[in-house]
Amino acid sequence: MSTGVLEDARRERWRERCGPGISMRKELTEASAMETRPQEGRKGPPPRDVPPAVGLLLPMALMNALLYLCLDRLFISPRRSAEDPTRCPHGHFRMGPMSNCSPWLSCEQLRTEVRQMKRVGEGAVKRVFLSEWKERKVALSRLTRLEVRDDFLHGLRMLKSLQSEHVVTLLGYCEDDNSILTEYHPLGSLSSLEATLNLSKYRSTNTWQHRLQLALGYVAIIDFLHRSPLGTLVMCDSSDLPKTLSQYLLTANFSIVLNDLDALPLVNRSTGALVKCGHRELRGDFVAPEQLWPYGEDVPFHDDLMPAYDEKIDIWKIPDVSSFLLGHVEGSDMVRFHLFDIHKACKSQTPAERPTAQDVLDTYQKVLNLLRDTTTPQTREML
């Protein structure tokens, strides 16, 4: 199913990018066909001859413009990781030093080739074990209880469809045994970022540059979800900061991948379908204001009366997550200062007034470039 969906989405994107060009090409063909057709029944003076050189040059110039537009649109989209030729085809994986792509492991292989070792994490849906497969460390996730099997299976479907640089690598799964095998990341989730960066081994990495790069990676994941091959997906498993951090893993080369995809509902603008994150009342200012019960303390919460919302709830949360990622090292306040305006916009009470994830990502990138190019220890003080 997912390859078909991906293919359609890819075609759709090509049509979006080059659509006007293609219809322009069609109009051009029709126009030139009309020109070559005999002008039946036409009265008045005979048409003036167009010099043959002009007749040749004009379509060539138009074709060039068309090509330029399409190629330009292709090359300014750095996000198209799903089309990255170095990635494995759907249903296959490669990790670490593996040179070839392997098919996802089957139930049989998971049962016989994977050795479960110690537990490294647990959430409401999955219990995660460091395990071994062919002398490699891997992560085996097992369903914690049958009541949440639908979430587990939704997460698995998303994991299969969204394989990219932004998502943990899937190695295999077995629906009959409720198990999923993924690449193991020894640095664990973002919850332990501070502890990791305090280890003497990683202390040299604890700089504003690396930390801003992490924030950039986080926003890139939100942008990827909002413009995913499946449509606009909302990261619902994020009702407070610790919970949000636990859904992302820190890789050994200090990038971030999304690990928990169990709650990614789809916003469908054309049908007007919005989303709700769970069926319980949410509180606190980490969640977006539109996620809070709007009818006051006197009216008891009722899920059916709770209005739905869209992906802008993820934008509201960006400043808090980024601020955690930036931490408190030399230079992080300078970065915060430069991100002040975009973060203020993220906190607009009106969802539609918040920027898109892509806008935020662009601003982060500009700030990173600006500070990287201009900051020496002396000038940093002035900024």
Ligand X SMILES: Nc1ncnc2c1ncn2[C@@H]1O[C@H](COP(=O)(O)OP(=O)(O)O)[C@@H](O)[C@H]1O
Instruction: Name which of 342, 355, 254, 261 is nearest 314 in CA terms.
Output: 355
> 228 phi and psi, to 5 degrees?
-75, 165
Rounded-to-integer distance, Cα 221 and Cα 227, Å: 10
* Among ligand X, Mg ion, none, residue 245 binds (CB under 5-8 Å by kind): none
Choose one: 76-84, 200-208, 258-266, 334-342; the region binding ligand X (CB under 6 A).
258-266
Indicate whether 82 belongs to the interface with ligand X (CB under 6 A): no
Complex with ligand X: residue 189 or 196, whichever CB lies closer? 189
Complex with Mg ion: residue 179 or 247, whichever CB lies closer? 247
Rounded-to-integer distance, Cα 220 and Cα 48, Å: 57
CB of 140 to Mg ion, least distance (A): 15
Amino acid at 104: W
118, containing H or E segment: strand 114-122
Complex with ligand X: residue 144 or 348, whichever CB lies closer? 144
CB of 237 to Mg ion, least distance (A): 6
* Among Mg ion, ligand X, none, residue 88 binds (CB under 5-8 Å by kind): none
- Burial tier of 168 (Cβ tally within 10 Å: 0-12, 13-18, 19+): buried
* Single residue of 131, 161, 246, 322 touching ligand X by CB under 6 A: 246
Provide the H-helix boundaries in the chain: 2-36, 52-75, 107-113, 149-161, 193-198, 208-226, 241-245, 312-326, 332-338, 340-346, 357-374, 377-382
# residues contacting ligand X (CB under 6 A): 22
- Long-range interactions of 348-351: CB distance < 8 A, separation 24+: 349/289, 351/288, 351/290, 351/309, 351/310, 351/312, 351/313, 351/315, 351/316
Indicate whether 262 belongs to the interface with ligand X (CB under 6 A): yes
Rounded-to-integer distance, Cα 365 and Cα 325, Å: 15
Choose one: 28-36, 90-98, 177-185, 364-372; the region binding ligand X (CB under 6 A).
177-185
DSSP, res 277: S
* Single residue of 183, 260, 311, 314 touching Mg ion by CB under 5 A: 260
Indicate whether 188 belongs to the interface with ligand X (CB under 6 A): yes
Site for Mg ion in 234-253 (CB under 5 A): 247
Complex with Mg ion: residue 125 or 171, whichever CB lies closer? 125
Q: 217 and 190 in contact (C-beta within 8 Å)?
A: no
Rounded-to-integer distance, Cα 277 and Cα 213, Å: 28
Complex with ligand X: residue 122 or 362, whichever CB lies closer? 122
CB of 206 to ligand X, least distance (A): 20
Q: 130 and 139 in contact (C-beta within 8 Å)?
A: yes
* Single residue of 13, 185, 226, 354 touching ligand X by CB under 6 A: 185
Rounded-to-integer distance, Cα 241 and Cα 71, Å: 40
Indicate whether 124 belongs to the interface with ligand X (CB under 6 A): yes
* Single residue of 260, 290, 310, 314 touching ligand X by CB under 6 A: 260
Indicate whether 139 belongs to the interface with ligand X (CB under 6 A): yes
Site for Mg ion in 85-124 (CB under 5 A): 123
Footprint of ligand X (CB under 6 A): 120-126, 128, 139, 168, 182-185, 188-189, 246-247, 249, 259-260, 262
Footprint of Mg ion (CB under 5 A): 123, 247, 260
